[in-house]
Amino acid sequence: MMQLSLAQFEVARADAAANLARIAELAAEASAAGSDLLCLPEMCTTGFDWAYNRAHLDAAADDAAAVSALAKAHGIAICGSMLERTDSGNAANCFHYFDARGELCARYRKLHLFTLFHEERHVEAGEQCVSFETEFGRIGAAICYDLRFPELFRRNTEAGAILQVLPAAFPHPRLDHWRSLVRARAIENQNYFIAINQCGVEGHGSSVGETQYFGHSMVVDPWGEIVVEASEEACLLQVEIDPSLVSKVRSKLSAWEDRRGDLFHL
């Protein structure tokens, strides 16, 4: 069995210190509850103020190191998406997974950039899918807008992933899409899907307005059943899952084995 904590909170825009303080509180609470893994939302250390993020790039590694230290101090694995500086000096939206010793097990840079909000103007896209082994099974990484592109999750599952983790900042009015797509990704790949969303309001200035994130962080099992789902309010969801359910579901319904990979080349 695996104990999860999903941290749904309002990320403080352009305030890494405030966000790291909040993450420290959440790590302590999740550890005290006996969780094996704390899952954080998208851009959890800085939010989406790209002028601030550009100026903050050199400190991004220190933010990641602070999260690593929290994982080690509390003996809990921590994952989430956060700002990263690339070798070319650009910003990246990068998933990090630190194990309970604080060691970095995986990094995944967001493949699909959200052109509706012009993310491609500010972020260097990733170039590869990432899945990685943990003591609970192989995990596939994705971030927010990636949810709309099923090929990524197919590739992760073909690589052996039995859990998919997606930090996100999904806003209104796309709640129905969120709930439908998270379940679909779990059903079609017959694995667990762990989706952690921001909540609250992010202000972008008078010329742009506000974004209302709707929360509804959720865990869906390999049958497509919702194991737990949040409301729109900030919370720390606690849930236990059974990774062995993946093989049990696939033995009862052989859709994964029956796929025609010889015809559909990803």
Q: Which residues are catalytic?
A: 42, 110, 144
Percent of the chain's residues with pLDDT above 70: 98
pLDDT digits (tens, 9 = 90+) for 14-33: 999 999 999 999 999 999 99
- What value, to the nearest 5°, has the Cα angle with vertex 220 and ends 245 and 147? 125
The whole-angstrom separation of Cα 224 and Cα 188 is 9
Contact predicate 95/108, CB 8 Å:
yes
pLDDT of 218 > 70? The answer is yes
Domains of the chain: 2-252 (3.60.110.10)
Give the residue-averaged pLDDT of 221-245.
98
- Average pLDDT for residues 74-86, to the nearest whole number? 98
Mean pLDDT of 151-173: 98
Residue of 4 and 209 predicted with greater confidence? 4
Q: What is the mean pLDDT of the chain?
A: 96
Closest CA to 186 of 231, 245, 105, 113: 245
Cβ neighbours of residue 132 closer than 8 Å, sequence gap 6 or more? 97, 105, 106, 138, 139, 141
On the 0-12 / 13-18 / 19+ scale of CB atoms within 10 A, 76 is buried
Give me the pLDDT at residue 50, please.
Answer: 94
pTM: 0.97
User: Is residue 128 pLDDT above 70, yes or no?
Assistant: yes
How does DSSP assign 214-265, residue by residue?
A: E---EEE-TTS-EEEE--SS-EEEEEEE-TTHHHHHHHHSTTTTT--TTT--
Q: What is the pLDDT of residues 181-207, one digit of tens each?
A: 999 999 999 999 999 999 999 987 655
Q: What is the mean pLDDT of residues 138-149?
A: 98
In one-letter notation, the amino acid at residue 264 is: F
Q: Which tokens go with 18?
A: 């405030």
Q: In angstroms, rounded to a whole number, what is the distance separating the alpha carbons of residues 99 and 77?
A: 4
Question: C-alpha angle with apex 84: 19 to 202, nearest 5 degrees?
Answer: 40
pLDDT of 36 higher than 90: yes
Check residue 266 and give its pLDDT.
Answer: 59
| Strand arrangement of the beta sheet that strand 77-85 belongs to | 104-109, 91-98, 77-85, 37-39, 2-8, 235-241
| Dist. CA 143–CA 57, nearest whole Å | 19
**Does residue 134 carry a pLDDT above 60?**
yes
- Helix residue ranges per DSSP H, the chain: 16-32, 50-55, 60-74, 150-158, 175-189, 245-252
**Residue 266: burial class (beta carbons within 10 Å; 0-12, 13-18, 19+):** exposed
pLDDT in tens, 85-124: 999 999 999 999 999 999 999 999 999 999 988 999 999 9
Give residue 262's pLDDT.
87
pLDDT at 209: 78
pLDDT value at position 264? 84
Task: Give the list of residues 6+ apart from residue 104 with CB closer than 8 angstroms, or none.
Answer: 64, 68, 96, 97, 98
